[in-house]
Amino acid sequence: AILNYGHTLGRINDTNNHFLGMLWTFGGALQKEDGSLGASANDPAWLEALRLTKVMYEEDKIIPPGAINWTDADNNNAYQGEQIAWTSNPTSIYTWLEKNKPELAKATKFYPYPKGPAGSFGQVDVWSHIIFKASKVQEEAKGALEYVFKPENHAKYIEFVQGRFLPVYRELVDAPFWKKSEVYAEYANIARNGRIMAHAASPTAPYAEITTTFLIGEMMQDLLVRKQKPEEALATFVKRAQAIYDKYKGQL
C-alpha cells in the first residue's frame, strides 16, 4: 500500500529522531531539564509512545515491515520513490524533490508532529563546527568561522542552499526567502517552535552515548522483533541508559 508512514525502527539515528518527536507529544523527553535521564521504567509517556508504535506497526500496519531494518536513507528513498505518504526528515527529501521530481515537490507539505495529549512540536537538528586542539591553524580556523557566521554572510549561505538548512539567527527566519512559499513558511514555524533531540536540556555526554549507540533503536528491536511488551522493552532501555548516566556521574 502507498499510504504508509515512513517511521524508522532500526538501530540508526533517524529512529532517535522519529521516536523522540512522537514521545514529546505524550509529554515525555529523553532528558530532564537538569540533564538527567528523562525515562523511568513505568513512565506513562514513554509507554504510550511505545504502545502507539506497536499498534501502527503490528495492527494498523501503516509502517512498512522493512522499517525495522532501515538505514537513515531508506525513509528518504521510500518517499522519493512514492512508496510512502509521509515521514519525518523533510529538508533533504524536499531539496532532492525540487531538482528531480518537481511535481511531487509541489504536492509535498510540511507539518509538525501530529498533536498528542501534551501538544504538537517541531523538531530541529543542530549541527556544530569544532576546531581541534591539535590543529596547527587554530587562529585561521577561528577567523574562518567568524567570517562564515557573520549574519550577512550566513544569510547568503542559507539562501544559496535553498532550504537545506535553517539559519542559526532567529531574525533571519523572517527573511523574504522563507516567505516565498507555503512550504518554506512552515519551515520557519518549525524553526521558531522546534525542539532539539536533547530536549529538555542541552546535549550531554550520556545523551551523546545513548543516541550514538542507538539504545532507542535497540528498544524498537525488543518491541517489534523480539516481540516484547512495551513495559519490558522500556525497562531494558532504562537499565541500559541509566548505566550510561551513572558512568558519567561527577563529570557533567
In CATH, what number is assigned to the domain containing residue 38? Answer: 3.40.190.10
**Positions in the chain whose pLDDT score sits under 70:** 1-3, 252
Which of 193, 209, 225 represents a domain boundary (last residue)?
193
Please tell me the predicted confidence (pLDDT) of residue 3.
66
* C-alpha cell of residue 213: 549507540
CA triplet 71, 10, 63: central angle to 5 degrees?
Answer: 95
Residues 215 and 187 placed together within one structural domain of the fold = no
Report yes or no on 164 lying in a domain: yes
Please tell me the predicted confidence (pLDDT) of residue 252.
63
Please tell me the predicted confidence (pLDDT) of residue 60.
95
Residues 217 and 169 placed together within one structural domain of the fold = no
Residues 113 and 153 placed together within one structural domain of the fold = no
Report yes or no on 50 lying in a domain: yes
Report yes or no on 252 lying in a domain: no
pTM of the complete model? 0.91
Report yes or no on 36 lying in a domain: yes
Question: In the chain, which ranges are continuous DSSP H helix?
Answer: 13-25, 44-54, 74-80, 90-100, 102-107, 138-148, 151-160, 182-193, 205-212, 215-224, 230-247
Residues 111 and 236 placed together within one structural domain of the fold = yes
Residues 152 and 63 placed together within one structural domain of the fold = no
Report yes or no on 161 lying in a domain: yes
Give me the DSSP letters along 74-89.
HHHHHHHTTS-SEES-
Residues 112 and 14 placed together within one structural domain of the fold = yes
Report yes or no on 129 lying in a domain: no
Residues 150 and 189 placed together within one structural domain of the fold = yes
Which of 151, 176, 193 represents a domain boundary (last residue)?
193
Please tell me the predicted confidence (pLDDT) of residue 56.
97
- Could you give the CA distance from residue 56 to residue 61 in angstroms, rounded to a whole number? 6
Please tell me the predicted confidence (pLDDT) of residue 162.
82
Strand partners, 86: 5
Residues 27 and 142 placed together within one structural domain of the fold = no
Q: Supply the range of the domain harboring residue 80.
A: 5-121+200-247
Please tell me the predicted confidence (pLDDT) of residue 28.
98
- Could you give the CA distance from residue 157 to residue 153 in angstroms, rounded to a whole number? 6
Report yes or no on 127 lying in a domain: no
For the chain, the domain total comes to 2
Residues 28 and 90 placed together within one structural domain of the fold = yes
Report yes or no on 132 lying in a domain: no
Which of 193, 220, 235 represents a domain boundary (last residue)?
193
Residues 56 and 175 placed together within one structural domain of the fold = no
- Could you give the CA distance from residue 97 to residue 101 in angstroms, rounded to a whole number? 5
* Cβ contacts of 162 within 8 Å, gap of 6 or more: 95, 98
Residues 48 and 102 placed together within one structural domain of the fold = yes
Residues 61 and 102 placed together within one structural domain of the fold = yes
* Cβ contacts of 229 within 8 Å, gap of 6 or more: none
Long-range contacts: 246-251, Cβ < 8 Å, 24+?
247/206, 248/204, 248/205, 248/206, 251/205
